[in-house]
Structure 1
């Protein structure tokens, strides 16, 4: 059953644990706060639809570089830096 009602904040951990399990990942390795910060910065400084796509690219880059916590942090930092410097007017 699907709904258009978003999850309440307290259900986020439950959702992430279930999705991580379904994808064969360790939910404890997901830096939720860091990724939400990247999504916020991209959504506010680039465009809202760019946020989920940017997180996909962060994850892909981290995986290609080894997938460690440091790789996720580095890819997240690069995305945030680019987003925060993104021009507000189209060029």
Structure 2
């Protein structure tokens, strides 16, 4: 029987291949960590939404030539992580309000 980590790695390889992104580096632990921050700082359903939006933002930045794939992903994940942490620290939930 496969472990959860093996299944996640296999699933991610399958998705990357289906989208012809086999060469894109993927840090599963970092993505899951971001999801955890969002889930605990905002609400649980924020986890997949946060990772999707961060990935989309990274793809847009990389695709437009603003930065490399790695730099785009790191920047998007850093922004999302920071916003989620700030969200939890604000009395109204929304940073700056």
- Please indicate the TM-score interval, normalised by the length of the shorter structure: 0.7 to 0.9
Corresponding residue for residue 31 of structure 2: 35
Unaligned runs of 5+ in 2: 64-68, 93-97
Question: TM (normalized to structure 1)?
Answer: 0.80
CA distance in 1, matches of 2:90, 2:77: 23
Question: TM (normalized to structure 2)?
Answer: 0.76
> What RMSD in Å do the two structures reach over aligned CA positions?
2.0
Q: List structure 1 segments (4+ residues) > 2 angstroms apart after TM superposition.
A: 7-10, 87-91
Corresponding residue for residue 87 of structure 1: 88
Check if 1:62 corresponds to 2:58.
yes
Corresponding residue for residue 78 of structure 1: 79
CA distance in 2, matches of 1:66, 1:19: 19
CA distance in 2, matches of 1:37, 1:24: 25
Which of the numbers 9, 32, 56 marks the counterpart of 1:13? 9
